[in-house]
Structure 1
Amino acid sequence: MRQFWTNSINTNKAMVENLQNHGVITSDKVAEAMEAVDRGMFVPDGSSPYVDGPMSIGYNVTISAPHMHAMCLELLEKNLKPGMRVLDVGSGTGYLTACFAVMVGSEGRAIGVEHIPELVASSIKNIEGSGAASTLLKEGSLAVHVGDGRQGWAEFAPYDAIHVGAAAPEIPEALIEQLKPGGRLVIPVGNIFQDLKVVDKNSDGSVSIKSETSVRYVPLTSREAQLRGD
């Protein structure tokens, strides 16, 4: 996946406009969500939050480049309507979880799952300072939990949309089980060579899988293996 680098982008609005100009964002709803959630609130201090590249957030993980977040939002847009439920596995700094929450609104539910407790704590602080999503956090329609995302989060299943922010060697069965008929899962799959897979669940419970693009993500693994950098 190409990156849309430019050093002249220094505001969140300019970042979104750049992605629109390059055709990465075509949905008004996605643009509105990414404008409402300032990426600058979700990256380490001293970083360049609006430049189109991934960056380290500690614990051997990264926050994805803006174009990857935009692509995933676009792929899931029809499953992120007001009132719908969405699960964000490997929620990291909380950025994409906050975008999901803005799209499904107060009548929906957005759940982030992250197995590093320190990241969960910091992501909640990020969301609290993010404006649009902070109200949803206070209301309870947005929440971030410590857990093994490979097992999903059964409490609020089934989900209309599931996003996974790390690459699994194969699609976890628990995530397919927690996907609602008519729902969509977006997940990077592979080890050295990875593809972004789009999994649609049919009304009879069967699934259709297609590859969207080649990607490079950190592995979806146990907390211990992640901290070792395996």
Structure 2
Amino acid sequence: MVTKQEMIERQLKGRGISDPGVLKAMEEVDRSLFVPEDQQDKAYEDRPLPIGKNQTISQPYIVAYMAEQLQLQKEEKVLEVGTGCGYNAAVISRLVKHVYSVEIIEWLAELAKQNLAKTDYVNITTKHRDGYAGWQEFSPYDAIILTAAPSSIPKPLKDQLKIGGRILAPVGRMNQQLVMLYKTGEEEFEEKTLLPVRFVPMTGRADKGGSYGR
């Protein structure tokens, strides 16, 4: 059985994760609280784990890598699109002022609430809704992170980002790339491709060609 400390040392530090805040967050968040009982002995293995109905919890390395790339700050407000079981939101919450997280699958949104209730993370607000539309009520955001892959980054998410903010998202259907989008003006963005990834496709409006009525 892999221990949390082995995960930190081998899977994270050993693969180049060096941000002290990210490493501390990964150590503070108990991944075993977010996996089913029959997966407890595998909680700190560096791979996705099944959490039911063909859904998974992300591997620790990719959670840490994405958090490190975003260079999150304590005073920032973050939108997460794709709450899943709540693990990624829990990690990010240790690095920022507040996390707002949306999940399109109703039972997953409820599972995340139950999992997060087991913790002391009071700076996370979740909601069951289609992430394509973001969460206008609490915008603009300093950073937006997607845990499911659209074919292109939805315009509503770009609109809800502060100038100077960044969006980190897996983009593509068959051949996905992890992309960082920096907002440099009201309608101006700079894009940086980081690495090939494999995430579940974004569903809802994103799966219907991205049509969106404002």
- Out of 174, 184, 187, the position equivalent to 1:202 is 184
TM-score (norm 1): 0.83
Q: Distance in 2 between matches of 1:206 and 1:102?
A: 30
Residue 72 (str. 1) matches residue 61 (str. 2): no
Q: Secondary structure at the residue paired with 1:46?
A: helix
Which of 93, 100, 104 is equivalent to 2:85?
A: 93
Which 5+ residue runs of structure 2 have no aligned equivalent?
208-214
Partner of 1:39: 31
- Per the alignment, residue 108 of structure 2 pairs with 119
Whether 1:187 aligns to 2:169 is yes
The alpha carbon displacement at 1:205 in A equals 4.1
For CA contacts below 8 A with separation 6 or more, give which structure has more relative contact order: 1
Structure 2 counterpart of 1:55: 49
Find the aligned partners of 1:57 and 1:172 in 2 and give their Cα distance.
27
Matches for 1:144-159 after TM superposition, within 5 Å:
144-159=126-141
Please, which of 10, 13, 18 is the counterpart of residue 26 of structure 1? 18
For the Cα contact (< 8 Å) 1:120–1:145, is it kept in 2?
yes
- Identity of matched residues, %: 38
- Corresponding residue of 1:173: 155
Aligned to 2:7, which of 15, 35, 43?
15
RMSD of aligned residue pairs (Cα, Å) = 1.7
Which residue identity is paired with 1:99?
V
Amino acid at match of 1:94: G
Residue pair 2:169, 2:180 contacting (<8 A) in 1 also: yes
The count of corresponding residues between Structure 1 and Structure 2 is: 204
User: Counterpart of 1:191 in 2: which secondary structure?
Assistant: coil
- CA contact under 8 A between 2:11 and 2:46: conserved in structure 1? no
- Structure-2 separation of matches of 1:43 and 1:24: 25
Q: Distance in 1 between matches of 2:15 and 2:53?
A: 33
- Partner of 2:211 in structure 1? none
Give the CA deviation at 1:17: 2.1
Residue 69 of structure 1 deviates from its aligned partner by 0.5
Encode CA deviations 1:160-186: one digit per residue, 9 max, x unaligned.
Answer: 111100111111111111111111111
Deviation string 1:69-88 (CA, Å, 9 cap, x unpaired) is 011011112xx211210011
Q: CA deviation digits over 1:56-112, x for unaligned, max 9?
A: 2234332221111011011112xx2112100110110011111111111xxx22111
Q: Secondary structure of 1:103's match?
A: coil
TM-score of the two chains, using structure 2 as the length reference: 0.89
Amino acid at match of 1:84: E
